[in-house]
Amino acid sequence: MPPAVLTDMKTDELLVNMGPQHPSTHGVLRLIIKTDGELVREATPVIGYLHRCAEKIGENIQYVQYVPYTDRMDYLSSMSDNLAYCLAVEKLLQIEIPPRGQALRVIMAELNRIGSHLLAFGTYGIDLGAFTPFLYAFREREIILNLFEIVSGARLTYNYVRIGGVMRDVSPLFMSTLQKFMDDFPAKVDEYNALLSENQIFVDRAADVGVLDRDLAINYGVTGPNLRASGVPMDVRRAEPYSGYEKYQFNIPVGRGLKGTIGDCWDRYYVRIDEMLESLKIVKQAVEGLPAGDILSKQLKKSIKPPPGEAYVRIENPRGELGFYVISEGKDKPTRVKVRAPSFCNLSVLPELSRDVLLADLVAILGSIDIVLGEVDR
């Protein structure tokens, strides 16, 4: 067929359903994609497949009973979910947490951040065609899961943080295993960078793709590594410290456009790599300065009935700003529980990033946002 005829050809747009059962959607997410050949003209997320009435459940059971429900939301960051809810209830109760309990919370939250980012690193490699990094990531993630199993008995929904402190103290086995992990991990990150971060095929797939500029990120309420990758150094641990984070020295990694444009897929990926090392710094400081004493507040009563009032607490979980809003009427059950889920807000910007990109690039963009559907749907 002569080239002149090809230029006159018109194509029809095609609607494609990606998910809800698709490995690249990172959970039960459905994307309705309007395509023109290999180009994506529009991508619309359809959510709700994992909705479990999590907030309404919180209004029908006692405060302490709801803690295990929170770690089923972002099941890759159970420690942070427990922590945010417990901090909100503690704010209502107006109780102080012992220094040792606070330090243990920080250790677990930062180890959980590393474990979550390891999974993001490994699965992102799979999204873009590299399977080997996933095996490397799980080598170190397995050690973190072993640590969590020692303190909580679980390897996914840990449920270690309690209203007033933590469930139990750490053992010598935990501390020795953690020390070896802290000694070995920096060298492992160098392996990740050699294996994937600097891989030219990976760079070509991620750099200059899905660029999220700072204004668009702020307007959509994007938080966490996705916001920082756009050049905004916003971290709740620094802006509004909780659990003693003001005592720890750490940097806030931001996107610098090292391989492409600030705010592209590669920046979002690499901010998480940098954050793992910063979390390791925090863990080391918390371990070195771990105070003696109680792990549970002595102000805590057997029956938890906060006085009438309301409390909102936000923390920095691996995906961004996680907030719990709790209203009390002086009973043993909250009147209202509302969750500000970072994955939900971060996912909302996907249609903006998906216009006129290649279908293969849509997978790269979605993977770089690092969502958890248990938290999106709740």
pLDDT digits (tens, 9 = 90+) for 54-80: 999 999 999 999 999 998 888 899 999
The predicted model scores a pTM of 0.91
What is the band of 252 on the pLDDT scale with cuts at 50, 70, 90?
A: very high
Please tell me what DSSP assigns to residue 368. H
Q: Which residues, in sequence order, are CB contacts of 92 under 8 Å at separation 6+?
A: 306, 307, 309, 310, 311, 326, 328
pLDDT band with cut points at 50, 70 and 90 for residue 4: low
In a domain, 207, yes or no: yes
43 in helix, strand or coil? strand
Please report the sign of the dihedral spanned by the C-alpha atoms of residue 118, residue 120, residue 125, residue 126. Answer: positive
In a domain? residue 165 = yes
CA distances from 228 to 34, 85, 216, 224, 318 (A): 30, 24, 13, 6, 12
pLDDT digits (tens, 9 = 90+) for 356-371: 888 889 999 999 998 9
Enclosing domain of residue 224: 6-377
- Please report whether residue 222 resides in a domain: yes
Tokens 């309301």, residue located = 310
In a domain, 208, yes or no: yes
Say what percent of the chain tops pLDDT 70: 97
**DSSP labels for 97-119?**
PPHHHHHHHHHHHHHHHHHHHHH
Q: Return the number of other C-beta atoms located less than 10 Å from residue 38's C-beta.
A: 10
Q: Determine the pLDDT at residue 189.
A: 93
Give the strands of the sheet with 336-340, arranged side by side.
309-317, 320-328, 336-340
Whether 150 is in a domain gets the answer yes
**What's the CATH code of the domain at 150?**
1.10.645.10
Q: Is residue 1 part of a domain?
A: no
What is the mean predicted confidence (pLDDT) over 132-158? 91
Structure tokens at 240: 């509004």
In a domain, 303, yes or no: yes
Q: Which residues pair with 18 in a beta bridge?
A: 31
Q: Residue 100: which residues within 8 A CB-CB, separation 6 or more?
A: 169, 290, 291, 292, 293, 294, 295
Rounded Cα gap, residues 145 and 115, in angstroms: 8
Q: Do the domain assignments include residue 71?
A: yes
The pLDDT-based confidence of 1 (bands split at 50, 70, 90) is: very low
Q: How many domains does the chain have?
A: 1
Q: What's the pLDDT score for residue 13?
A: 83
Residue 68 · residue 159 · CB < 8 Å:
yes
Nearest Cα residue to 118 out of 231, 196, 170, 230: 196
Read off the tokens for 199.
């891989």
- Find the length of the chain: 378
What distance in Å separates the CA atoms of residue 74 and residue 52, rounded to the nearest whole number? 13
Burial of 85 by CB count in 10 Å (0-12 exposed, 13-18 middle, 19+ buried)? buried
| H/E stretch holding 276 | helix 265-288
Beta strands at 309-317 and 320-328: parallel, antiparallel or unpaired: antiparallel
Strand, coil or helix: what is 350? helix
